[in-house]
């Protein structure tokens, strides 16, 4: 049984989670989130901890941001769009049990502290911003770092939020080059 309560978007996400692991979920009801859901998340975070596991699309990332801003300290699980897209539908409900278990085994903790060792210039040098293939490169690096895909500004914020060290970043960058993402 997973100790933390997993925040997902809907019922089909809950079904997918329960196929993979023994866990309890809070469903946001889609991209809209109301006062009652926020209260459930607050209580869950205080008593057991929370893992945010939303879809890797615009609506899911918006929910992740809204929850994280309101409740610093949540853990976060990520899967890529490629992993969870079936016939154009992007959603955690499309993930295999193995994918879900892997994402939950690699959760990141939001420390909500400033001062990450990763500077904006590091992202520029790595071609993750201001580069013709920056989006594709961020997608690959997000997968390697376990922080998911995001735009440049959010990628930098996630590096701060999850306290990605220079060494961790460099190791991922080396794997990036070895795997031929040039």
- Name the residue among 8, 2, 1, 74 with its Cα closest to residue 42: 74
Average pLDDT over every residue of 93-99: 97
What is the C-alpha separation between 114 and 163, in angstroms, rounded?
9
Q: Are strands 50-52 and 5-8 parallel, antiparallel or unpaired?
A: parallel
pLDDT of residue 115: 47
User: What domains can you pick out in the chain, each with its CATH number?
Assistant: 1-112 (3.40.1360.10), 114-182 (no CATH)
Q: What is the pLDDT of residue 179?
A: 87
Task: Show contacts of 15-19: CB within 8 Å, 24+ apart.
Answer: 15/93, 16/92, 16/93, 16/94, 16/95, 16/97, 16/100, 17/53, 17/92, 17/100, 19/97, 19/100
- Reported in sequence order, the residue ranges of 89-176 that DSSP labels E, i.e. its strands, are 89-90, 108-109
Q: What percent of the chain has pLDDT over 90?
A: 81
pLDDT value of residue 38: 96
Task: Give the lowest-confidence range in 34-43, 60-69, 112-121, 157-166.
Answer: 112-121
Separation of alpha carbons 74 and 68, rounded Å: 7
| Residues in CB range of 18: below 8 A, 6 or more apart | 25
What does the alpha-carbon distance between residue 85 and residue 95 come to, in Å, rounded to a whole number?
A: 8
Give the integer Cα–Cα distance in Å for 77 and 8. Answer: 11
Characterize the bridge pairing of strands 89-90 and 85-86.
antiparallel
Lowest average pLDDT, out of 25-29, 119-123, 159-163, goes to: 159-163
- Average pLDDT of the chain to the nearest whole number: 92
Q: Within 10 Å of residue 151's Cβ, how many Cβ atoms?
A: 13
Does residue 157 contact residue 142 with C-beta atoms inside 8 Å?
A: no
pLDDT of residue 116: 53
**What global pTM score does this model have?**
0.74
* pLDDT at residue 164 tops 80: yes
Q: Are 41 and 62 in contact (CB under 8 A)?
A: no
Per-residue confidence band for 69, with pLDDT thresholds at 50, 70 and 90 = confident
90 pLDDT band, cuts 50/70/90, is very high
């Amino acid at each position: 049984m997973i100790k933390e309560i997993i925040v997902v978007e809907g019922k089909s996400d809950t079904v997918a989670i329960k196929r993979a692991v023994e866990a309890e979920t809070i469903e946001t009801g889609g991209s809209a989130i109301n006062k009652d859901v926020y209260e459930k998340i607050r209580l869950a975070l205080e008593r057991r901890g929370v893992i945010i596991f939303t879809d890797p699309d615009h609506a899911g990332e918006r929910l992740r941001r809204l929850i994280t801003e309101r409740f610093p300290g949540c853990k976060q699980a990520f899967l890529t769009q490629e992993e969870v897209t079936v016939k154009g539908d992007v959603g955690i409900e499309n993930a295999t049990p193995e994918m879900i278990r892997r994402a939950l085994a690699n959760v990141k903790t939001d420390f909500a502290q400033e001062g990450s060792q990763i500077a904006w210039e590091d992202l520029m040098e790595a071609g993750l911003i201001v580069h013709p293939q920056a989006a594709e490169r961020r997608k690959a690096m997000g997968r390697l770092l376990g922080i998911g895909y995001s735009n440049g500004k959010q990628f930098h914020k996630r590096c701060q939020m999850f306290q990605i060290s220079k060494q961790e970043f460099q190791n991922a960058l080396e794997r990036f080059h070895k795997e031929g993402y040039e």
